[in-house]
């Protein structure tokens, strides 16, 4: 499961994908219906990949919570409406998915929001139980390319002095400066 590019914006309902940069904010697309809008730079924008849940032994990333929830629910949505489910039912399911959550710092409203997002992401196929793959490290350059990269870029002139190669543009600007 990869939550990169999925955003939550204060005062905007639902979740959004980052589409493009705008002059005074960012252009986002609703995950639910695909409508595009602008989120102004003054809005509080949070990436889901940066959100975590308080636990008794630190914090747990939201993607890990969703992966656990996916396993507990066998890949199905929550059996109750996140907004209307009984408080005891909401807490019970959250305790199954994340048994060590901090009961003093994680509120029922946080759980309901997490369930709403989970159901939305699940309906769009963005939640699964697969571990995130770390980004592959760039391949090492071939020995020949490494030798070229390490070669000095300066050349020796007839006097034995090292000089840098000048581009045509640089040479033209230097000539123009001398003429002035």
The pLDDT-based confidence of 80 (bands split at 50, 70, 90) is very high
Distances (CA, A) of 27 to 23, 37, 114: 10, 6, 24
User: 66 and 91 in one domain?
Assistant: yes
CB contact at 8 A, 14 and 39: no
pLDDT (average), residues 97-105 = 95
Q: Look at the pTM and tell me if it is higher than 0.85.
A: no
pLDDT at 130: 75
> What's 108's domain CATH number?
1.10.10.1650
Least Cα distance to 106 among 91, 122, 125, 92 occurs for 91
Phi, psi of 17 (to 5 degrees): -105, 140
pLDDT (average), residues 131-153 = 50
User: 61 and 24 in one domain?
Assistant: no
Q: Is residue 37 part of a domain?
A: yes
Q: Range of 97's domain?
A: 51-123
Torsional sign, CA 128, 13, 44, 93? negative
User: 56 and 23 in one domain?
Assistant: no
Least Cα distance to 6 among 24, 35, 37, 28 occurs for 28
Q: Is residue 166 part of a domain?
A: no
User: 63 and 29 in one domain?
Assistant: no
Q: Exposed, middle or buried: residue 153 (CB in 10 Å: 0-12, 13-18, 19+)?
A: exposed
Q: Is residue 165 part of a domain?
A: no
3-state helix, strand, coil split of the chain in percent (to 5) is 35, 25, 45
pLDDT (average), residues 87-102 = 95
């Amino acid at each position: 499961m990869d939550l990169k590019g999925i955003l939550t914006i204060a005062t905007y309902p639902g979740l959004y994908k980052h589409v493009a940069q705008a002059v005074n904010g960012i252009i986002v697309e609703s995950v639910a219906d695909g409508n595009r809008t602008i989120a102004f730079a003054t809005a509080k924008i949070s990436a889901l990949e940066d959100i975590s849940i308080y636990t008794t032994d630190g914090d747990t990333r939201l993607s890990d919570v969703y992966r656990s929830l996916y396993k507990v629910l066998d890949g199905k949505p929550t059996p109750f409406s996140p907004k209307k489910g009984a408080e005891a039912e909401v807490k019970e399911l959250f305790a199954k998915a994340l048994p060590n959550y901090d009961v003093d710092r994680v509120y029922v409203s946080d759980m309901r929001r997490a369930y709403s997002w989970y159901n939305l992401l699940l309906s769009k196929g963005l939640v699964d139980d697969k571990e995130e793959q770390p980004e592959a490290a760039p391949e090492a350059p071939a020995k020949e390319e490494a030798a070229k990269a390490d070669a000095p870029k300066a050349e020796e002139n007839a006097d034995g002095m090292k000089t840098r190669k000048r581009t045509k543009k640089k040479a033209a600007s230097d000539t123009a400066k001398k003429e002035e």
